[in-house]
Amino acid sequence: MRVVALDDYQHVALGLLDLPARVDAVAMPAHIDDEDELVSALEGAGVVVAMRERTRLPGSVLSRLPNLRLLVTTGMGNAVIDLAAATEAGICVCGTSGALTPTSELTWGLIFALLRHIPTEDARIRAGGWQSTVGVGVAGKTLGLLGAGRLGKVVAEAAHAFRMPVIAWSQNLTAERSAAVGAELVTKEELFTRADVVSIHLVLGDRTRRLVGEPELRAMKPTAFLINTSRGPIVDEAALLRALQEGWIAGAGLDVFDTEPLPVDHPLRSAPRTVLTPHLGYVTDDCYRVFYRDISEDIAAFAAGSPVRVLNPGWDTAAQQR
């Protein structure tokens, strides 16, 4: 059995996978965007491991991998895998459990790094300098949650500890659910006009794509900050660049982008008043250990004909037995 792990940026996959000795496992540390190159890299693989949504796996790729029988993605959902095409090609797609808190923790890391100018002052002191900025405290400032589900709830809990009032909005959020996380339910317009920090915790979909655009960014206070640890396309990237360059908002902390990895010449890399991280929300030791434990279990169970965490609804479990 040949197992290929994609996008192993940190070179950890082979050390964390627990597979039988007869398995030939290889890891691809470099991201492969070109479909022909990807098909070539996956040639002969019976199992492919996808790290979250780093690599797109459409039908045009899956249909060209005749040996592929199992595709394991970290997490229990992956928007860039064509599940229908996988089923058609006879490929079982399954997932893993994960960890709830890492992305919420990074949200606060971005907030403090941005408001207290930590990267700027770190670089300055290493260059021989001393204080050059005046930071912004969070106590008494209003946190606006765009989405108050599982991740937003954890962010809200920390906000209360920092003495921040919390307001929230999403299309399906009710007053009862908002109150349960200690947030005041407001309209979308209110959230952007009142919040000192707007933090996004929504799933990317048709209703949330470009949800934060020029009208929303212009509605924010010029002293307010935007934090996005969810998905890049929820924010209109062109509008955000203008907001940063023209001073509509005070700054942005971004862990996610429209195109990932972020192109070397992308204008966000030089945008003012930003703190940028390379989609680190879930990238912690604890979370990776859960991912790779479950990946190993999925591969072993599939090989033995036992039940796996199937994600493609059309997959015929009986076919696995055959």
- Residue 252, classed as helix, strand or coil, is strand
Please tell me the least confidently modeled range out of 178-182, 216-220, 314-318: 314-318
Write the CATH number of the domain with boundaries 2-99+284-321: 3.40.50.720
* Pick from 100-109, 185-194, 256-265, 310-319: least confident: 310-319
Q: Is the per-residue pLDDT at 83 higher than 70? A: yes
What's the confidence (pLDDT) of residue 316? 76
- Give the model's pLDDT for residue 318: 54
pLDDT at 284: 98
Pick the range with the lowest mean pLDDT from 78-82, 112-116, 309-313.
Answer: 309-313
* Residue 37 identity: E
Alpha helices (H) along the chain = 13-16, 35-41, 59-62, 83-88, 101-115, 118-126, 150-161, 175-180, 188-194, 214-219, 237-246, 285-304, 317-321
Mean pLDDT of 92-105: 96
| Average pLDDT score, the chain | 96
Report DSSP letters for 111-136, one per residue: HHHHHTTHHHHHHHHHTT--------
How far apart, in whole angstroms, are the C-alpha atoms of residue 222 and residue 228? Answer: 18
Q: What percent of the chain shows pLDDT beyond 70?
A: 98
What pLDDT sits at residue 320? 58
Angle between helices 150-161 and 101-115 (to 10 degrees): 50
Q: Place 169 in a pLDDT band, splitting at 50, 70 and 90.
A: very high
Residue 322 reports pLDDT greater than 50: no
User: Is residue 321's pLDDT more than 70?
Assistant: no
Report how far residue 165's alpha carbon sits from residue 235's, in angstroms, rounded to the nearest whole number. 24
Confidence bin at 314 (pLDDT 50/70/90) = confident
- Whether 93 and 291 have beta carbons less than 8 Å apart is answered as no
Query: CA 314, 315, 316 angle in degrees (round to 5)?
Result: 110
202-227 core/surface letters (b: 16 or more CB in 10 A; e: else): bebeeebeebbeeebbebbbeebbbb
317 pLDDT higher than 70: no
| Higher-pLDDT residue of 77, 21 | 77
Fold for the domain defined by 101-276: Rossmann fold (3.40.50)
Domain 2-99+284-321 and domain 101-276, same fold? Reply is yes
Active-site residues, by number, are 231, 260, 279
Domain residue spans of the chain: 2-99+284-321, 101-276
